[in-house]
Amino acid sequence: MNPTGREKVELCASCGRQGASKIVPELDNAILCDGCADRLVDGKTLGYWPPEEVPPTPPEERFAELEERFAPLFKAAQVLLREGMDDEDLIYPTLAYANELGLQQIPDLADEAGLLVSVKSGADWEAAVERFMERHAGIIPERITEDGVVILRWLPVVRNVHLYPKTERKIPEKVTLRIRDHARLLKPEDITSVYERTLSAHKVSYGKCMTGSIDFATAEGTLEISTYASTDTATRIPSKDAAAVFSDRNPEFIYPELMAKFCQALLEPGQLPDGREIGYERLLARRKRGAAPTRTPEGTAKLIRCCVAFCLQHYGDLPKGVVAHRLLNKHVQPLPDDVEELPEEGVSDYESNALWRDAKKAGVRLEAAARAICSPEFTV
């Protein structure tokens, strides 16, 4: 099968997701998204509907369909509201994960969530969390609610270990921390805890060598700080020498406190004599000015509603308007007394305009969380 490109963006004839642009002549010229087209090329069987046989369903008639499709998302929103969770680093990944569960696009995601729900605590929980972190980049299961909703946390610091090639045993060559956008100032322990866990997982020591090699770089809106394998007499052991140097000992890395100080020195905001601003905190801080949207229960509720609205529009192809408002009024509950329901007979009032304006902003964070869920990149 050889899907061809198409400029017009439509719904995928297999999964229904927006962004379809591949015409497949072998499937009655059905239009697929990139993911479904790739699966077809890999020889997998896909269900689909011929475009000429299924006319677009009016939004009013899609109400029940959307209720079913977004049921996990609605449930997660209800739990967040009922339990008063106001941490942005919980809200975005939890809703993004629930949305992906409803879309059913990631293989074995439902089984993974079911495993987390079934274990909940103890050694089995820790093992499930480790498997989760190997599969998803930069988010971690925090707990399971009584309703069976997986609560996830966005991690501002992500770890990675690069191993020496062509050695009989696994020898770490480079440890990298990637500092991503964050809603609050990072504390030294935020950095040292991740760094220490990474070294411990690879049975690597630190603290003996007083010198070490460390550098940094920026990539894709993140700050990457790397430190390299050393001995008490040498730093940055070349790959060609690794097997001999570490034949009877493990590599050493700089101690956690030094790593934290180096990271904080790079993040610390400041100003040069000529007035130029320095410090990566100004680039990575999620909010440059103003109060957080979750500073009040009302603000938190509106943020959660905006997140759900974005998913309905972006993943459900539901335009802003009465039908979307009815879904939100019915399923994004309970709302604080000061938060009004959305109009179901008109869409031009202040609440409606603010909802869809802020939904676009919330979508940036939801999409970042979705990429973390879909990608195993940058994990140990």
Is the pLDDT at 208 greater than 70, yes or no? no
Indicate the pLDDT class of residue 380, thresholds 50, 70 and 90.
very low
Of 112 and 43, the one with more pLDDT = 112
Of 87 and 64, the one with more pLDDT = 87
Taking the C-alpha atoms of residue 299 and residue 263, their distance in angstroms, rounded to an integer, is: 32
Three-class SS of residue 283? helix
Alpha helices (H) along 87-238: 88-103, 109-119, 122-135, 188-201
Q: What pLDDT score was predicted for residue 276?
A: 80
Indicate the pLDDT class of residue 301, thresholds 50, 70 and 90.
very high
Segment 230-246, tens digit of pLDDT? 887 888 888 999 999 98
Handedness of CA 86, 90, 91, 95 (dihedral sign): negative
How many other β-carbons are positioned within 10 Å of the β-carbon of residue 304?
A: 25
* In the chain, domain spans: 4-56, 157-279
Segment 173-197, tens digit of pLDDT? 999 999 988 888 888 999 998 898 8
Taking the C-alpha atoms of residue 376 and residue 131, their distance in angstroms, rounded to an integer, is: 11
The CB-based long-range contact list for 218-221 (8 Å cut-off, 24+ gap) reads 218/280, 221/180, 221/181, 221/283, 221/284
Is the pLDDT at 203 greater than 90, yes or no? no
Taking the C-alpha atoms of residue 225 and residue 284, their distance in angstroms, rounded to an integer, is: 14
Taking the C-alpha atoms of residue 66 and residue 47, their distance in angstroms, rounded to an integer, is: 19
Q: What pLDDT score was predicted for residue 283?
A: 84
Indicate the pLDDT class of residue 20, thresholds 50, 70 and 90.
confident
At residue 101, what is the residue type?
L
Segment 46-85, tens digit of pLDDT? 666 666 554 455 566 678 889 999 999 999 999 999 999 9
Indicate the pLDDT class of residue 8, thresholds 50, 70 and 90.
very low
Which of 131, 77, 72 is closest to 100 using CA atoms? 72
Could you tell me the pTM of the whole model? 0.74
Of 275 and 101, the one with more pLDDT = 101
Q: Mean per-residue pLDDT for 220-239?
A: 87
Residue 182: DSSP 8-state: B
Taking the C-alpha atoms of residue 354 and residue 298, their distance in angstroms, rounded to an integer, is: 14
Is the pLDDT at 169 greater than 90, yes or no? no
Indicate the pLDDT class of residue 377, thresholds 50, 70 and 90.
low
Alpha helices (H) along the chain: 34-41, 63-69, 71-82, 88-103, 109-119, 122-135, 188-201, 239-245, 256-267, 281-284, 297-314, 322-331, 350-374
Which range of 162-171, 268-277, 278-287 scores highest in mean pLDDT? It is 162-171
DSSP 61-111: GGHHHHHHHTHHHHHHHHHHHHTT---HHHHHHHHHHHHHHHHT-STTHHH
